[in-house]
Chain A
Amino acid sequence: MLITTENLVKKYMMGESEIRALDGVSVSIAEGEMTAVVGASGSGKSTLMNMLGCLDKPDSGEYFLNGENVSRLPKDRLAGIRNRYIGFIFQSFNLLPRMSALENVELPMQYAGKRDARGVAERALETVGLAGRMRHEPGKMSGGERQRVAVARALVNDPALILADEPTGNLDSKTGDEIMALLESLNAQGRTIVIVTHDADIAARCGRSIRMKDGRVVS
Chain B
Amino acid sequence: MLFLTIIKVALKSLVANKLRSFLAMLGIIIGVGSVIVMLSIGAGAQKDIMNRISMMGTNLLSIRPMQSSQRGVSTGSSRQNLTLEDAEAIVERVDSIAAVSPVASNNAQLKYFNKNTRASVIGCAVTYPYIGNFEVEHGRFFRESEEESMARVVVLGSETASELGISGKQLGERIQIRGISFEVVGIMKEKGGAGRFSQDDSALVPYTVAMRILFGMDYLSNIDVRAADGADLTEVETDIATLLRSRHKIINPENDDFRVFNQADIIQTATEVTDTFTMLLGGIAAISLLVGGIGIMNIMLVTVTERTKEIGIRKAIGARDRDILNQFLIESLIMSGVGGALGAMAGIATSEIISRTSTFSTSVSPGSVALALAFSAAVGVFFGYYPAARAARLDPIDCLYYE
Which positions in A face B, CB cutoff 8 Å?
50, 53, 55-56, 75-76, 79-80, 82-84, 88, 90, 94-99, 103, 106-108, 110-113, 115, 117, 153, 157
**Assuming the A-B contacts A94-B400, A98-B9, A117-B1, are A75 and B317 also in contact, with contact meaning beta carbons closer than 8 angstroms in the complex?**
no
Query: Closest residue of chain A to B2, judged by CB?
Result: A110
Return chain B residues, CB-CB under 8 Å to A98: 9, 12-13, 16
Chain B residues near A53: list those with CB within 8 A. 316
Interface centre among B314, B316, B323 (most CB of A within 10 A): B316
User: Do A84 and B318 have beta carbons less than 8 Å apart?
Assistant: yes
B317 touches A88 (CB 8 A): yes
Is B147 on the interface with A (CB-CB < 8 A)? no
* Cross-chain pair count, CB within 8 angstroms: 72
> Does any Cβ of A come within 8 Å of B163's Cβ?
no
Chain B interface residues (CB < 8 Å from chain A): 1-2, 5, 9, 12-13, 16, 309-310, 312-323, 396-397, 400
Query: Could you tell me the distance between the alpha carbons of A145 and B301 in the complex, rounded to whole angstroms?
Result: 33
What 8 A-B pairs are tightest by C-beta distance, nearest first?
A83-B318, A110-B2, A111-B318, A79-B320, A108-B317, A94-B313, A76-B320, A98-B12
Q: Judging by beta carbons under 8 Å apart, are A75 and B316 in contact? A: no
17 A-B contacts (beta carbon < 8 Å): A55-B315, A79-B315, A79-B319, A80-B318, A82-B315, A88-B316, A90-B400, A94-B309, A94-B312, A94-B400, A99-B9, A106-B5, A108-B318, A110-B2, A111-B2, A111-B314, A111-B323
Query: In the complex, what distance in Å separates the CA atom of A94 from the CA atom of B396?
Result: 13
Give, as a whole number of angstroms, the nearest-CB distance from B325 to chain A. Answer: 12
- Report the separation of the CA atoms of residues A137 and B312 in the bound assembly, to the nearest whole angstrom: 19
Assembled-state Cα–Cα distance A110/B327 (Å): 13
B314 touches A107 (CB 8 A): yes
Contact between B397 and A111 (Cβ–Cβ < 8 Å)? Answer: no
Known: A55-B400, A98-B13. Contact between A82 and B316, CB under 8 A?
Answer: yes
CB-based contact A103/B318 at 8 Å:
no
Residue of A83, A99, A110 contacting most chain B CB atoms (<10 Å): A110
In the complex, chain B residues whose CB is within 8 Å of the CB of A107: 5, 314, 317
With the chains together, A151 CA to B265 CA distance in Å?
Answer: 78
Is the Cβ of B318 less than 8 Å from the Cβ of A82?
Answer: yes
A110 to B310 CA separation, bound complex (whole angstroms): 16
